[in-house]
């Protein structure tokens, strides 16, 4: 059992979280056993849904929490966190 099913990350790329980066997140999250969530302030969105992701305006410097519902999805959570930390490869 994992102690932490969440990570806090910061958007580092100059363009922030946009359509291409949201698509990259959703392509990873769609493989989860249960939901993966992106949380900004009090707004929680489904990480497998591009349009949900785009509803939380996230320019460079925004802090996001990535949360998994299932221990089996820790690898997916970590992949999304790494993608964000690396600026979505941009």
Residue 49 lies in a domain: yes
Q: What is the pLDDT of residues 73-89, one digit of tens each?
A: 999 999 999 999 999 87
- Residue 24's domain comprises 6-89
Q: CATH no. for residue 48?
A: 3.30.1340.10
Residue 27 lies in a domain: yes
Residue 28 lies in a domain: yes
pTM value is 0.91
- DSSP-H helix ranges across 30-73: 50-54
Q: What is the pLDDT of residues 54-69, one digit of tens each?
A: 999 999 999 999 999 9
Number of domains, the chain? 1
Residue 35 lies in a domain: yes
Residue 82 lies in a domain: yes
Residue 1 lies in a domain: no
**Strands of the chain, DSSP E:** 6-10, 36-40, 43-46, 63-68
């Amino acid at each position: 059992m994992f102690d932490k099913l969440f990570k806090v990350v910061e958007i580092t790329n100059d363009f922030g979280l946009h359509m291409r980066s949201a698509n990259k997140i959703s392509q990873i999250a769609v493989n989860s056993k249960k939901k993966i969530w992106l949380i900004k302030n009090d707004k929680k969105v489904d990480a497998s849904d591009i349009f949900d992701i785009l509803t939380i305006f996230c320019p460079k410097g925004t802090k996001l929490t990535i949360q998994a519902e299932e221990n089996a999805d820790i690898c997916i959570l970590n992949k999304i966190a790494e993608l964000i930390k690396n600026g979505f490869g941009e």
